[in-house]
Amino acid sequence: MVHSTTTIIPATSLPVILVVLIVAGWGCGGQRSAAHVDDNLDIRLPDTRQDIQTWHCGKHDSDDVTATLKDDGTLIVSGTGDMQDYRLVDENSTFFAPWSNDNACIDSVLNAIPEDPVPEEALFCACTAASVIIEDGVTSIGTRAFRGCTRLESVTIPASVKFIGEDAFEYCTRLTSITVAEDNPHYYSVDGVLFRKQMLSSRMVSALTRYPPGRQGAYTIPDWVPFIENGAFAGCTGLISVTIPNDVILIGERAFAGCTGLTAVTIPGSVAQIGKSAFSRCYGLTSLTIHNGVGRIGESAFNACTSLVSVTISSGVTSIDEKAFRGCINLESVTIPTSVEFIGDDAFEYCPRLASIDVSSNNPQFSSVDGVLFSKDRKCLIRYPEGKQNTMYTIPNTVTVIGESAFKDCRNLTSVAIPGSVIFIYGWAFSGCTNLTTVTIPDRITEISEFTFSGCANVTSISIPSSVNIIKDRAFNGAHRLASITSLNLTPPKIFGEAFGHAPSGVCLYVPENSIGAYRAAYGWKKFECIKNPASAPRGE
């Protein structure tokens, strides 16, 4: 019976051993001589690298997983079981992986710029790993496990790994290769790109899980991939072009978020849904084509694509979710097709150059007049484009409802005529209209919603009809030039919070003569030192 022998050779003995091997029948060129060496002798060179630090990183008590950082920058994860997940604890704190966590460094970053938001990638100060090797026996890679390891260049994944958590390699800006063992039944890699195997309608298909963030240039997604997973290309700033084949049916959340080098994207008609924030912060994106067949544009899908100038949405799209094109500061025009049934709140917020929202005349839900977006029956004014150059606008008398944020940040407007047909104005409707000078509320309005005229810094006079009985928090907040308020209700309208927050101290309130005492005693009204009858108001107020 032949027995295999494993021999670990001390580093100091290497010169002697090499001589022995040559004498025993091995030439320097690797040619074997007539002399015999045991075929079952397994000679392994010793690992001369020094351990810098070791952490326990098992998910449960039963998971015996450790991570050891070597002095050459290799992080070796070994043992048996699942790795810990490192996820957001709450909106103010994150549970960092220990090899990425340097509290002193984090504190120095926060203290340096206490009033500014800190980019998340700036918090990863201590991850010095240049390569990660997951050894066989480890069954999962935790969520955000190597997130922010900006020196990381390569990752090796064994056959035992069954699950890889989201954002495991996010912000790994030098990572160019992910290699998976060929016998892994759950994942595989092609040219350093990570894919996941999954079942779809009783057949095995592939999902593109992670494109290495450090790669540069163009990439064509293989035509056998139906799914682009959440965060698959997120933060790939060197990606300048991507070809999405007709086989793709889903683009996941944040799939291409932060791909600042992308300049053009074509979404094929096979895609049923563009996920939440899928292309957010693609600052270089100038051209966007959405082909016929795409069903849903997710929340914030193209948020802050600051170079986009125009968007034509092909027929087939049924839903444009909230904030879909928010912050597209150079967007000038949008065309909405017949198929669109839903447009979410703030879909076109913070688009200061948007001058026109055009709707197909055959759309059964929406319409547009002179570039202004309405419901089909024109009873609801949904959105007045921020970039329209008009200084005055008269709302059509078909309108009964002014939608949330309908005129928000329309800084060119100095005057808006609201017809008597309007019975309700949603919150934020005129917020940020900094050049409005007067506000007259129609006499069918009973409630003024929160933040309705907030930030209208140049408003000098406000007229509130007798029908209004409720004014909500910050409805007129920030009217810094306000000189007069007229309220005609005999009973002081109920005020919530700081409805007139930051109003100048000299504002004069004009109310019915018999109600002066009531206003002087009422919450929110009694702060005005000047309370008079309208008959005593100077002409023009």
DSSP SS3 for 100: helix
Residues 486, 534 contacting (CB under 8 angstroms):
yes
- Which two tokens mark 217? 């240039």
Q: Please state whether 73 falls in left (phi above 0), alpha (psi between -120 and 50) or beta.
A: left
What confidence score (pLDDT) does residue 87 get?
Answer: 76
pTM tops 0.85, yes or no: no
Question: Among residues 316, 320, 256, which one has the least CA distance to residue 291?
Answer: 316
N-to-C CA span, the chain: 110
- Which two tokens mark 57? 């990183």
What confidence score (pLDDT) does residue 363 get?
Answer: 97
Instruction: Strands of 319-421 (E only): list them.
Output: 319-320, 333-336, 342-343, 356-359, 366-369, 372-375, 380-383, 392-394, 401-402, 415-417
What confidence score (pLDDT) does residue 178 get?
Answer: 98
**Which sign, positive or negative, has the C-alpha torsion 353, 359, 365, 368?**
positive
Residue type present at position 305: C
Residues 76, 68 contacting (CB under 8 angstroms):
yes
Query: Strands 461-464 and 438-440, how do they pair?
Result: parallel
Q: Which residues contact 129 (CB under 8 A, 6 or more apart)?
A: 69, 73, 74, 75, 99, 146, 149, 151, 152
Task: Give the domains, in start order, of the chain with CATH numbers.
Answer: 5-44 (no CATH), 50-215 (no CATH), 390-541 (3.80.10.10)
- Which two tokens mark 441? 């509320």
For 292, 341, 499, the CA distances from 64, given in Å and listed in that order, are 51, 52, 58
For 7, 442, 496, the CA distances from 343, given in Å and listed in that order, are 69, 27, 30
Strand partners, 273: 250, 296
Neighbours of 4 (CB within 10 A): 9
**Which sign, positive or negative, has the C-alpha torsion 508, 511, 513, 519?**
negative
DSSP letters for 48-66: -PPEEEEEE-BSSTT-EEE
- Per-residue pLDDT 10s for the chain (541 aa) are 444 444 444 544 444 444 344 344 444 444 444 445 455 555 555 667 788 889 999 999 999 999 999 989 999 999 999 999 987 655 555 578 888 754 334 344 334 333 444 444 444 445 789 999 999 999 999 999 999 899 999 999 999 999 999 999 998 999 999 999 999 999 999 999 999 998 777 788 999 999 999 999 999 999 999 999 999 999 999 999 999 999 999 999 999 999 999 999 999 999 999 999 999 999 999 999 999 999 999 999 999 999 999 887 888 999 999 999 999 999 999 999 999 999 999 999 999 999 999 999 999 999 999 999 999 999 999 999 999 999 999 999 999 999 999 999 999 999 999 999 999 999 999 999 999 999 999 999 999 999 999 999 999 999 999 999 999 999 999 999 999 999 999 999 999 999 999 999 999 999 999 999 999 999 999 999 999 987 766 554 4
Q: Please state whether 201 falls in left (phi above 0), alpha (psi between -120 and 50) or beta.
A: left
For 30, 36, 38, 43, 527, the CA distances from 23, given in Å and listed in that order, are 13, 11, 14, 17, 102
Question: Among residues 196, 175, 172, which one has the least CA distance to residue 184?
Answer: 196
Indicate the helix (H) or strand (E) that contains 22: helix 14-23
